[in-house]
Amino acid sequence: MSFETDSRRHPEVQGTAMFKLAELKREWGQLSLYDRFEQVVTRIIMLFISAAILDSLVLTAIRLISDFQLGFAFTEKILLQDIFGSVLTILILLEFNHSIALALKNKAGVLQARMVVLIGILVVVRKIMLLDFKSATPENLLGYGGMALALGMLYWLLGAKQRDPGN
């Protein structure tokens, strides 16, 4: 998939490349020392996350191919949960990288509260989806439910603040 295809699907990141060097060179002189530091560190973090995404993707593909060779044994719950957990981890990493790219595009702080909460929700959902309900205690289930509810409410409240800028 080319970058142009991605920018059409996501207009909020249109023209955003991890190394948008021409624009960065043009603005570099106007940036404070800390802003320059943040720009460099942010791009390095994006590289690290991208490397983690590629590593996870390759390892998941290798594991999936070896699991397919097992035939019907592949349908065992543990094997499917392992693959599904790996795919969800890749999606969480992609969302994290995407939020950093948006922050660079919008010239906002690297960590936006709403994006951090969204990633937290994804992590809790991943944990719940992979949970072995046979061995889970009621306390564990209440804890996960409370976390999901609290993060969902926080995400909604942060979104309400963005929808009503008068406050």
Instruction: Please state the domain count of the chain.
Output: 2
Task: Quote the pLDDT of residue 6.
Answer: 45
Claim to verify: residue 101 and residue 137 sit in the same structural domain: no
Task: Quote the pLDDT of residue 113.
Answer: 80
Claim to verify: residue 63 and residue 139 sit in the same structural domain: no
Q: Say how far apart CA 113 and CA 158 lie, in whole Å.
A: 8
Claim to verify: residue 6 and residue 33 sit in the same structural domain: yes
pLDDT tens readout for residues 25-52 = 677 777 788 877 887 888 899 999 999 9
Claim to verify: residue 117 and residue 103 sit in the same structural domain: no
Claim to verify: residue 22 and residue 69 sit in the same structural domain: yes
| Residue 114 in this model has a pLDDT that exceeds 60 | yes
Task: Quote the pLDDT of residue 16.
Answer: 47
pLDDT, mean of residues 82-93: 90
Claim to verify: residue 47 and residue 19 sit in the same structural domain: yes
Of 90, 109, 128, which residue is a domain's last? 109
Token output for 125: 């959902």
- Of 8-17, 58-67, 74-83, 152-161, the poorest mean pLDDT is in 8-17
Q: Say how far apart CA 71 and CA 98 lie, in whole Å.
A: 36
Claim to verify: residue 8 and residue 81 sit in the same structural domain: yes
Between 147 and 75, the higher pLDDT residue: 147
- Of 2-6, 50-54, 98-102, the poorest mean pLDDT is in 2-6
Mean pLDDT of the chain: 79
Claim to verify: residue 60 and residue 138 sit in the same structural domain: no
- Range of the structural domain that residue 96 is part of: 1-109
